[in-house]
């Protein structure tokens, strides 16, 4: 499950422009499911404050907060997430408490109009 968390590799970075975007219900369903699949209990995942942005390189970013099940019937609490996809491929996926600060930083960049992403 944690395999996708490291997709944002260590290659060089580039700065791309961002702008808010509208997502179809089908696209939001896909994004939420992709994120929920990384948790212990995908059916329990809850989302809020979803933000979608188009990047100048053609990719798309999904940001927000997810509350995931903790495996014993409770919840972990809402944590920021950051996911970038392009051409049908997830290029970066960061969620969970250990990646919360990074996710919040990347989402703030996306909302500001420019985002630094890993190349390749």
pLDDT at 118: 87
pLDDT, tens digit, 9 for 90 and up, residues 10-35: 458 999 999 999 999 999 999 999 99
What is the pTM for the complete model shown?
0.86
* Nearest CA-CA partner of 92 in 57, 67, 68: 57
The helix/strand/coil state of 30 is helix
Q: What residues in the chain have per-residue pLDDT under 70?
A: 1-11, 120
E strand segments, the chain: 13-20, 46-55, 60-67, 79-86, 89-94, 114-118
Read off the DSSP letter of residue 100: H
* 10-42 exposure pattern, b = at least 16 Cβ within 10 A, e = fewer: eeeeeebebeeeebeeeeeeebbebbbebbeeb
pLDDT at 8: 41
pLDDT at 70: 75
pLDDT at 11: 58
């Amino acid at each position: 499950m944690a395999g996708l968390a490291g997709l944002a590799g260590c290659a060089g970075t580039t700065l791309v422009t961002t702008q808010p975007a509208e997502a179809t219900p089908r696209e939001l369903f896909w994004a939420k499911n992709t994120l929920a699949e990384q948790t212990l209990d995908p059916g329990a995942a809850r989302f809020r404050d979803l933000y979608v942005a188009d990047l100048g390189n053609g990719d798309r970013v999904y940001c927000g907060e997810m509350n995931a099940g903790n495996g014993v019937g409770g919840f972990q609490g809402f944590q920021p997430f950051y996911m970038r996809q392009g051409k049908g491929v997830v290029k970066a996926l960061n969620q969970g408490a250990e990646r919360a600060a990074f996710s919040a930083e990347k989402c703030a960049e996306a909302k500001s109009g420019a985002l630094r992403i890993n190349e390749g």
